[in-house]
Structure 1
Amino acid sequence: MKGRLPTTHFVKSKCALAITAFFTASVLSASALAFVPLSQDQAQDNSSTVSKSYSASDKAVSIAKETIIVDGHIDVPYRVKNQWVDVTKATDDGDFDYPRAVKGGLNAPFMSIYVPASLDNSPESTQLAHLLIDSVEAIVARAPDKFAIAKSPSDVKAHFKKGIISLPLGMENGSPIQGNLDNLKDFHERGIRYITLAHSQSNHISDSSYDLRRQWKGLSPFGKQLVSEMNNIGIMLDISHVSDDAFYQVVELTHVPVIASHSSLRRFTPGFERNMNDDMIKKLGDNGGVIMINFGSSFVSKEAGQWRTGLTNARKALIKAEGEDSPKLEDFEAQYRKKVPYPYSTLDEVLDHIDHVVKLIGVDHVGIGSDYDGVGDSLPIGLKDVSSFPNLVQGLLDRDYSRADIEKILSGNLLRVWQQVEDYAETH
């Protein structure tokens, strides 16, 4: 459909690469839960059961337009780095641009300053982070009547009143800090308001949920120091991507609530450590934090994870049979999808994640972290791009959420945590 990236993009997306690495490692690890790949018939059965179409009522559209919507994680900066496009105007690919954001009511998407784990422990990681911040500033410079950098909850609220879309900044992967707290201060001055401590590999701060090598058994000594410094300077701690041990250490050390900027629930994806289990969610609730639900199908349903495991195993079998130079590897995923259709999750399944958080710890601790432009062609039916937020609102209405609670999920909870972090920093 128009506005979506081609199928092959999913192979190159950052989340797909990390997920593939995780499931490949899981298959090789005796301690990991092995997933059984979907058969072609199973995938087709799944596809036939999720053909439901979604539409939003006038009430849902009004709520989306009249409410601040904060999305905890959108990968526009890295998208435009890979292939420049002017998101201040309508675009033919990707998940985000100005017209679609306006249509969906999205007005405060955190721009992900994503630094690949391959650049860890190198000056290039710090350089890339600054360049990606530059790219967000360039978006604002091209269209100051449409966008503005937001460095505080008050900025978001002021921009909303003016009809301008806020672009707050979150750093995905703490690698650019390089163990130097002066870098932390520099990034804070430039607008970074949360840091995802690690990405797909253990770094100098924290172990990663994707990396079976747990060199720190949680946080490094510098990572423990960084928790305190981030509290003091006013940068939210993002525990998406970190190992379970690192999560528990963060919530013990922090003096303010933390966020999971783009994570979903392990209850629905058994064995997938990148998501949070029920005990972690309860600890997050005790901490006062917020889990922001990731829309990527592999984060939402176990079937999508099983499909990727099947893809990985099929690719390995081809390499074993024909070698690394096989021409069939060039469009391998596209051909595999023809034989075994991808089992997209649905809006209803995303809502199941929200419902479960509310059941466990209450409506004050859940938000939205879509990962648009970061998960490639894996988005759920009903939530294919940023214009789809009224569908989400409609789903919440259909499940009898009040308008007040919907507003908490769309932005109120994250803005509360952000303000608490700022208030603490002002006194320390």
Structure 2
Amino acid sequence: MSASLHHSLRVADLHTHPMLGVGYLGLGLRGGWPRWALRGPLRNLLGLVTPEQARRGGVDLLVFVIYQLPNPRRSYRAGLRRQLRRFEALCARYAGTLQHVRSSEEIERAWAGGKVAVLLALEGGHSIERHPEDLVWLRDKGLVYLTISHFIDNRLCGTATHPLRRRWGLSRRGREVVRLCDELGIVLDVTHSSDRARREIARLSRLPVIYSHTGLRRFVPLERMQTEADMRAVARDGGLVGQLLSPYFVSGRLHGDVDEVARNLEYMCEVMGPEHVAIGSDFDSGLNPPAPLRSIADYPLLTAAMQRRGLGRAAIEQIWSGSFLRLLRAIGR
């Protein structure tokens, strides 16, 4: 019953990192990787998100996230353009399965053609902090959201995980970027931002903000995670919260299972309503998946866990794609 339900739904994952393997290791998406690449810490950096696994897992929409490590000595602009070329080359190589889309209308066209729709996002505002105007051509390429900070503070805002724990808010340039994103229709993702920065971004932005891949402070008491107040504020403004699937971000433990993920999703639905809940797996980032998931091909098992938790079809449909599609339509994308 759960498998048939799952494959009758539109399934979206808001935050995936196949571009890490492609961008930094120069590998493709289908497999055939060298053995060394599948051992040790790299084993969760490759192969969790592929076209074939999307087919098997009934996945209809993926957000591919572009990321580059902070390095002030290198040109972020050149790195962005290089990553964009690789992203477009990937979509062209697997054109029979994947279709690069920029809007809700293009998503529907991709689905009508039997393809997996792929949207583009950028993680880490450091990549555009020197040249915020790069957001214009990124928007032309279909950029749907900007994760404005990452592990360390940048010139735009503070992060929840900076080693010095400075807890900065938005800078002057950060406020300019928020306004530019509003004009361009780029959603701001505050997943990694400090509590202060999150509040300031939410007050300033005219668009809903999102947490694309996160956990709950109720179960993992870290600033990186979200509180009930955070969730209610996001829902009030029309945004959404995507649950990260790796066990540490679900329960604070290194190992866990899909039933714990379903518990978090049920709690989120109770606090903010399922129309503001989503999945942002962070797969292919190096983080381990919850048992028994091995890749996005196993997503029917997560749907089954939601059913065991008592979530009905309407709520599961919202979690898997309804909340994200609603957001896209609300911002005119």
TM (norm. structure 1) is 0.71
1:142 alignment partner in structure 2: 93
The answer on whether the counterparts of 1:231 and 1:421 sit within 8 Å (CA) in structure 2 is no
2:274 is the alignment partner of 1:363? yes
* 2:190 paired residue among 215, 218, 239: 239
2:13 is the alignment partner of 1:86? no
Tell which structure's C-alpha radius of gyration is larger.
Answer: 1
Counterpart Cα distance in 2 of 1:396 and 1:285: 21
The answer on whether the counterparts of 2:263 and 2:309 sit within 8 Å (CA) in structure 1 is no
Counterpart Cα distance in 2 of 1:418 and 1:243: 25
Give the match's secondary structure for 1:422: coil
* 1:104-155: CA deviation from partner (whole Å, max 9, x where unpaired): 0112110010122x32x45522222222222121111112111111111221
1:380 alignment partner in structure 2: 290
Give the aligned residue type for 1:111.
Answer: F
The answer on whether the counterparts of 1:236 and 1:418 sit within 8 Å (CA) in structure 2 is no
The answer on whether the counterparts of 2:167 and 2:194 sit within 8 Å (CA) in structure 1 is no
2:129 is the alignment partner of 1:178? yes
Counterpart Cα distance in 2 of 1:82 and 1:216: 30
Give how far 1:401 is off.
2.1
* 1:347-376: CA deviation from partner (whole Å, max 9, x where unpaired): 011111111111111111100000000133
Counterpart Cα distance in 1 of 2:128 and 2:259: 39
Aligned pair in 2 of structure 1 residues 65, 133: CA closer, same or farther (>3 Å)? farther
* 1:389 paired residue among 299, 310, 319: 299
1:230 alignment partner in structure 2: 181
The answer on whether the counterparts of 1:88 and 1:143 sit within 8 Å (CA) in structure 2 is no
* 1:98 paired residue among 48, 51, 57: 51
Give how far 1:179 is off.
3.9
* 1:279 paired residue among 219, 226, 229: 229
Give how far 1:249 is off.
0.8
* 1:268-299: CA deviation from partner (whole Å, max 9, x where unpaired): 111x2211122211211111110000011221
* 2:158 paired residue among 187, 202, 207: 207
2:5 is the alignment partner of 1:63? yes
Give the match's secondary structure for 1:160: helix
The answer on whether the counterparts of 1:75 and 1:374 sit within 8 Å (CA) in structure 2 is yes
* 2:244 paired residue among 278, 281, 294: 294
* 2:171 paired residue among 188, 212, 220: 220
Tell me which stretches of 4 or more aligned residues in structure 1 moved more than 4 Å.
88-93
* 1:176-202: CA deviation from partner (whole Å, max 9, x where unpaired): 213433211021112211000011110
Give how far 1:260 is off.
0.8
2:17 is the alignment partner of 1:75? yes
Aligned pair in 2 of structure 1 residues 67, 89: CA closer, same or farther (>3 Å)? farther
1:36 alignment partner in structure 2: none
Give how far 1:248 is off.
0.8
2:323 is the alignment partner of 1:417? no
Aligned pair in 2 of structure 1 residues 400, 147: CA closer, same or farther (>3 Å)? same
Give how far 1:209 is off.
0.8
* 1:293-342: CA deviation from partner (whole Å, max 9, x where unpaired): 001122111233xxxxxxxxxxxxxxxxxxxxxxxxxxxxxxxxxxxxxx
2:79 is the alignment partner of 1:128? yes
Give the match's secondary structure for 2:214: coil
Give the aligned residue type for 1:99.
Answer: E
Give how far 1:158 is off.
1.6
Aligned pair in 2 of structure 1 residues 137, 413: CA closer, same or farther (>3 Å)? same
1:321 alignment partner in structure 2: none
Counterpart Cα distance in 2 of 1:159 and 1:70: 13
2:43 alignment partner in structure 1: none
Give the aligned residue type for 1:284.
Answer: V
Give how far 1:382 is off.
2.4
1:406 alignment partner in structure 2: 316
Give the match's secondary structure for 2:64: strand
1:40 alignment partner in structure 2: none
The answer on whether the counterparts of 2:66 and 2:83 sit within 8 Å (CA) in structure 1 is yes
Larger RCO: 1 or 2 (CA < 8 Å, sep 6+): 1
The farther-off stretch of 396-405 and 188-197 is 396-405
Give how far 1:88 is off.
4.5
1:110 alignment partner in structure 2: 63
Aligned pair in 2 of structure 1 residues 70, 183: CA closer, same or farther (>3 Å)? same
Counterpart Cα distance in 1 of 2:302 and 2:104: 23
Give how far 1:69 is off.
1.4
Give how far 1:216 is off.
7.2
Counterpart Cα distance in 2 of 1:141 and 1:393: 31
TM (norm. structure 2) is 0.91
Aligned pair in 2 of structure 1 residues 235, 123: CA closer, same or farther (>3 Å)? farther
Counterpart Cα distance in 2 of 1:231 and 1:213: 30
Equivalent runs, 1:312-327 vs 2, <5 Å: none
Give how far 1:214 is off.
5.8
The answer on whether the counterparts of 2:17 and 2:285 sit within 8 Å (CA) in structure 1 is yes
Give the match's secondary structure for 2:65: strand
